Structure 1
Amino acid sequence: MDFHPWVIMVIALISFKIFFLFNNALRNTGFNENYTVTLGNQHVLFLNQGREVQLSLDRSSGAGFQSKEYFGSGYFQMRIKLPDKDSAGVVTAFYISTTTNSYGTDTKLYTVHLPLVANDGGRSKANYSNVPFQAHFRDFNIDGCPSIPTNPNKECHSTKYWWNGKKYNHLNPNQLKAYENVRKKYMTYDYCADRRRYPTPPPECIR
């Protein structure tokens, strides 16, 4: 299985913004170490002794998985190979979501999600003559600060964690140029700009 030589890495910082950096994978961690299947168990195939996962989408179901733990901050990465067929209307995503403030604290915790589903906001119809659609995922390493909603770990924003250092607060000019180039060439939807669906932008969209 061939993967693109660079990967997009996501850093969640105290400012609750997400930054994209280009770098090499740390190590090819097995799936079960950090993740669990949350959707379509029968559409998940483990390969290479659990170091690679294939998600499939057909007419009956898609598939997805998420991190086992909550994190107060951290460094998250994934190598993704998208479906190789005409996959208009099919969404393969890698995103971080936050918990609601239902425990009386002002701390936001993160979980990492990776679904393969059929809908891109209704703009394209999935061509089911091409099923199954298959996406592949590798490098399941998480370098994060675990925390739980009922007892948030206040050290997660400490500078003892390298991703909280000043070096990672901003993209350098080359990284920013590469990021903008990817957005311009490949991004088809930005939910932060979708005022019809989100009249009030989600918290992570506010800069």
Structure 2
Amino acid sequence: MAAFSSSCSWKTGGLLFSVLLNYLIVVSAGNFYRDFQITFGNGRGSIHNGGQDLTLSLDKISGSGFKSRNKYLFGKIDMELKLVPGNSAGTVTAYYLSSLGATWDEIDFEFLGNVSGQPYVLHTNVFTQGKGRREQQFYLWFDPTADFHTYSVLWNPRCIVFYVDGIAIRQFKNLESIGVPFPKNQAMRIYSSLWNADEWATQGGRVKTDWSRAPFVASYRNFNADACILSGAGKTLCSPNVNAWLWKKLDLVRQSQIKWVQKKYMVYNYCTDYKRFPQGVPKECKYN
């Protein structure tokens, strides 16, 4: 079996490398009018301040959501979110990248609401070729409802890294050499939604949504995608800053951050759930 370092590891494929050598001429700041479209909610999702801010709301009739107009194939994606305040039990604010089809790829942030005074749970997952079951959950070390915080994904041919305010909390390496699928061929859109999941979201569904507190509102700003965009012609156009993230791997500082977060704030890790995986946890657990 091949040996792996603690950093992300990947060998360049000629075809992929040639595709990624196309460049966009201009990079501009994110604008929700230009970059996203509201997908559902009948007015419960709205864009404000000239495209600089977006809000989603949830009431007993419906939630709301949006998706990116562009499809991305690798990139550094940043979004600032301020989550539903107060008693948010039963609500889920999902923010993720996903492709389509039966063998879709997906990279998930999901924020599981809770009763007032108790912490949100940050739920993360990675799907490859339609298969997930790679959940890791964390408490946050701040109140995510009091102000905006930045939630980021670095996705490149080496690995996927989840960040909160620039602090690395999780990585998923490209381990195709030992038979673990890695999302590298399907372009993904960015999605977000605010919806009711009180059958499971808070304390396993024991705490239900208090609709007297509706509407529940989540807020978004400062979107940035330093990424490769799949154009309508099927070509992949990359930002001029592509070299800053395309082959990036975790340095010792980021590796230490992951260890710190997982020691102090992790509340669930599929890699230690031997009841769920009695025949042995997935083989990528040894290296991530």
Which residue matches 1:134? Answer: 217
User: SS at 1:115's partner residue?
Assistant: strand
Structure 1's unaligned 5+ residue stretches are 1-12, 16-26
Q: Select 1:108's aligned residue among 164, 177, 186.
A: 186
Q: CA deviation at 1:178?
A: 4.8
CA contact (8 A) 2:198 2:209 kept: no
Which residue matches 1:172? Answer: 254
Counterparts of residues 18-167 of structure 1 (less than 5 Å): 29-100=30-101, 107-119=185-197, 122=200, 123-124=204-205, 125-147=208-230, 151=234, 153=236, 160-167=242-249
CA-based RMSD of the aligned residues comes to 4.0
User: SS at 1:141's partner residue?
Assistant: strand
CA contact (8 A) 2:81 2:220 kept: yes
CA contact (8 A) 2:90 2:198 kept: yes
Whose RCO is larger (CA < 8 A, sep 6+)?
2
CA contact (8 A) 1:34 1:140 kept: no
- Between Structure 1 and Structure 2, whose CA radius of gyration is higher? 2
Aligned-pair identity (%): 30
Q: Quick one: structure 1 residues 128 and 93, their matched pair in 2 at CA, closer, same or farther if it must change by over 3 Å?
A: same
Q: Between Structure 1 and Structure 2, how many residues are aligned?
A: 169
Q: Deviations over 1:129-183 (max 9, x none)?
A: 1100011011122221111598353x76xx9542112345887233313542675
Q: Which runs of 4+ in 1 moved over 4 A?
A: 168-171, 189-193
Cα separation, 1, equivalents of 2:97 and 2:251: 18
> Which deviates more from structure 2 when the two are superposed, residues 53-62 or residues 116-125?
116-125
Q: Quick one: structure 1 residues 168 and 147, their matched pair in 2 at CA, closer, same or farther if it must change by over 3 Å?
A: farther
- TM-score scaled to structure 1, two decimals? 0.64
> Which deviates more from structure 2 when the two are superposed, residues 143-152 or residues 69-78?
143-152
Structure 2's unaligned 5+ residue stretches are 1-8, 12-27, 105-183
User: SS at 1:84's partner residue?
Assistant: coil
Residue identity in the other structure for 1:176: I
Q: CA deviation at 1:109?
A: 1.2
Q: Which has the higher helix share?
A: 1
Which residue matches 2:133? Answer: none
